[in-house]
Amino acid sequence: MSSPVATQPPPTPPTEAARPKKPLLSTLLTRPEVGSFAAAIAIFIFFSALAEPFRSLPALSTVLYASSSIGIVAVGVALLMIGGEFDLSAGVSVVTGALTASMISYQLSLNLWVGVFVSLIVMLAVGFFNGYLVVKTGIPSFLITLGSFFMLGGINLGVTKLVTGTVATQNVADMDGFASARAVFASEFAVGGVTIRVTVLWWIFFVALATWILLRTRLGNWIFAVGGNAASARAVGVPVDKVKIGLFMGVAFMCWFYGMHILFAFNTVQSGQGVGNEFLYIIAAVVGGCLLTGGYGSAIGAAVGAFIFGMTTQGIVFAGWDPNWFKFFLGAMLLLAVMLNLYVKNYALNRRS
């Protein structure tokens, strides 16, 4: 692009402009993720100033990895929340996926990829189950997924104990397909002395995919419409039920993906894990600008929310603070982010009028 090209002057717009151009600032301020961007920059500067190790490149790689561990599932959760629904079972679903793949392969002595795909089918079925119940019964998704959260948690513990006799799965590191599956789900490579984990790349990919779906496809419009006003969306012919079930299955897919990472990064899975993480995914989405009422939000925002989470978890340790305070900071950050989002949104709306 270095050779100078004689460009034609852009065609002058017709003088009778169809609509007034919005100033750039207003356009920016109406984006859902702008508040979280500001918060992320502030937190980054804060920890960089405070914790000397935080400023190093290896630390950034650890922060990114910690962020991706929340961010991958948060992408699915953000889409679901934009669609006006809620999933409390995402935390334990991750472990369900990992346990399924591990036990199917180990107990039947199959190639691990078989376990991986059986697990995907099981997880999509779980997502379908959640979505189907929500759209067919009309019971709020908060309650439906609260039920599946407890059921999956119990299944994780009960089935694992029944099948393996212990509370964790056996090590699958010596089985066929482990090396290739690890390469896909849990490898890491060095770039210029910095370790990049593959989950970070997957995370970026999923965020880009979700953003493209939301902003550039008919499905994206449907998701916003369904979350904004389901009745109106149905009236104009949007397949509301299918979209909602699809969104629940999307969350399940993300949980499956992250569950595979847990399995292949750590070889064994403890059945009691995952409880409580669903709130971290929701926090990431909400800090990133998703509204609890649906119809508003962005996948990029959820990624920034997850990045804030990663910076905070690791930054507190890099700074050498007492980790007992971590949850307090997390909660305070959530409140601040939500208030900031609301303030920015109202400011932008008032500017336009």
Residues that bind other proteins (CB under 8 A): 53, 56, 58-59, 61-62, 65-66, 69, 156-157, 160, 166-168, 171, 262, 265-268, 270-274, 277, 313-314, 317-318, 320, 322-324, 327
CB 233 within 8 A of CB 222: yes
User: In this complex, which beta carbon is closest to other proteins, that of residue 94 or of residue 210?
Assistant: 94
What secondary structure letter does DSSP report for 270? B
Structure tokens at 264: 């292949």
User: In this complex, which beta carbon is closest to other proteins, that of residue 72 or of residue 81?
Assistant: 72
User: In this complex, which beta carbon is closest to other proteins, that of residue 30 or of residue 195?
Assistant: 195
Please give the helix or strand (H or E) that residue 33 lies within, else none.
none
Query: What is the C-alpha to C-alpha distance for residues 192 and 125, in angstroms, rounded to an integer?
Result: 42
Sign of CA dihedral 122, 126, 132, 133: positive
User: In this complex, which beta carbon is closest to other proteins, that of residue 35 or of residue 305?
Assistant: 305
Query: What is the C-alpha to C-alpha distance for residues 172 and 11, in angstroms, rounded to an integer?
Result: 64
CB of 69 to other proteins, least distance (A): 6
Bridge partners of 28? Answer: none
Using CB atoms within 10 A of its CB, is residue 259 exposed (0-12), middle (13-18) or buried (19+)?
buried
User: In this complex, which beta carbon is closest to other proteins, that of residue 184 or of residue 275?
Assistant: 275
Query: What is the C-alpha to C-alpha distance for residues 338 and 188, in angstroms, rounded to an integer?
Result: 35
